[in-house]
Amino acid sequence: MRLRSVHDREILRLALPALGALAAEPLYVLADTAIVGHLGRPQLAALGLAGTVLAGAFTIFNFLTYGTTAVVARASGAGEQERAARLAAQSLWLSLAIGVALVAVAEAAARPVLDVLGASGRSGDLALTYLRIGALGLPAALVALAGQGYLRGVSNLRRPLEIVIAANAANIALELVFVYAFHWGVAGSAAGTAIAQTGMGVAFVRELLRPEAASKRPRWAEMRPMMRIGRQILVRTVALMASFLVAASICARLGDAQIAAHQIAYQLFIFLALVLDAVAIAGQVIVGRTLGAGEPEEAYDAAARMIGWGAAVGGVFALALLPLLHVVPRAFTSDAATLHEAAALWPFFALMQPLGGAVFALDGILIGAGDTRFLMWSMLTASTLFVSLAVAGYDAGWGIVGVWIALDVLIVARLALLGWRFRGRRWAVVGWG
């Protein structure tokens, strides 16, 4: 990797503010994990189950961000500013409709979903409480996804950062009051997060309705570009989250210590993945804009630089994490059995980071280019491989180590497939259409 590039300034200009905004959801759950973890093992195990479901629901619909960013960035690059403003309003109506429907499904299916994941006893009852309360914040969280997507598409990454910082501060304050002052336990943790998400959603509604457009009424024809990309990203994301649900389900069947340790590593993985994904956000914006403006060589050169940045930052994370296997988990729990399981999986979690950095950059590049059909099929292929290995490891008695080895293989498979696609350049299609 070259020490300097003409693209570094713009990558950093976009990636640094995206870093804070991307961290919103995992910071919510990391705060939950730190606060709830000291209540006891059943409470942390409950959060491991309910948090996996809620994070999955949130992540499954991240196409509201990615699809919006891709089409708005292309429209901006092609000089279609009024079209970009119309797309902002359409993303709001779409996210609200999905969010309301998702709450209804979550409330009705909470118990069956937790049963499938292996929830039982006191931790299962606590997980149900957390899930039903936490689900109330989903509509606002989805609106926030759409709002971030639009603002990224027009290269305004400062405003999302301001909104999510305020929301995270409110979340921590509310949880400390509800859990420790009011003694509401896991219910207080879930309520604090849902209230903070609602405030964040209201702020993004204002941003989506702010730009001038000929019409802001719901129109299917205006939603179609986002839905085309969104449908394929949805399948890709469902396959990815299904892999993590399988991992959580296997860990739950191994015992409370294993699912609690997996919760710690999984939430740290999500946090670090979104830190690495800041480079992918720059990829979505730069690639979408340059292809919209008819500059494929510029798009390829910038994309190659972003892949190098992603791998390098991931390598730094790996070097920092490896010696901390007996340190970081203690911030979340003091339970000896959980700490033992966390230490066992830690090397596989740390070594995943540089490969993941390159994969996330490639994700952003292909999403910005609208090459989401390939993303979908490559993810389905890698997820099938993961599930086969994870189940085989469970049957062979490899425990939590087997689960995290299979997760490493998932990342390696994705890197091989996406790298091959990138070098072929078939994704570099120019123009608005």
pLDDT value at residue 136: 93
What DSSP assignment string belongs to 366-377?
HHHTT-HHHHHH
Q: Which of 383, 67, 4 is nearest to 234 (CA)?
A: 67
* Alpha-carbon gap, residue 329 to 335, rounded angstroms: 10
Phi, psi of 151 (to 5 degrees): -65, -35
pLDDT value at residue 389: 94
pLDDT in tens, the chain (433 residues): 566 667 788 888 888 888 777 666 666 667 777 888 777 778 888 888 888 788 777 777 878 888 888 888 888 887 778 888 888 889 999 999 999 999 999 889 888 888 887 777 888 888 899 999 989 999 999 999 999 999 988 888 889 889 988 998 898 899 899 988 898 988 998 899 899 999 999 999 999 988 887 788 888 877 877 777 888 888 888 898 889 889 988 988 888 888 888 888 888 887 788 778 888 888 888 998 888 888 888 889 888 989 998 999 999 999 999 888 888 888 888 888 888 888 999 999 999 999 999 999 999 899 888 888 999 999 999 999 999 999 999 989 898 999 999 999 999 999 999 999 999 888 888 876 5
- Three-state DSSP at 211 gives coil
Q: Which of 70, 226, 245 is nearest to 153 (CA)?
A: 70
* Alpha-carbon gap, residue 68 to 88, rounded angstroms: 8
**Cα dihedral across residues 156, 159, 162, 166: positive or negative:** negative
pLDDT value at residue 3: 61
User: Cβ atoms within 10 A of the Cβ of 283, count?
Assistant: 32
Number of DSSP helices (H) and strands (E) in the chain, helices first: 16, 0
pLDDT value at residue 402: 92
pLDDT value at residue 200: 93
* Alpha-carbon gap, residue 401 to 337, rounded angstroms: 15
pLDDT value at residue 174: 93
Q: Is residue 414 packed enough to be buried (19+ CB in 10 Å), middle (13-18) or exposed (0-12)?
A: buried
Q: Return the axis-axis angle of helices 138-153 and 186-209, rounded to nearest 10°.
A: 40
pLDDT value at residue 29: 67
**Cα dihedral across residues 209, 210, 213, 214: positive or negative:** positive
8 Å CB contact between 341 and 400: yes
Check residue 182 and report its DSSP letter.
S
8 Å CB contact between 160 and 21: yes
8 Å CB contact between 142 and 277: no
* Alpha-carbon gap, residue 197 to 66, rounded angstroms: 19
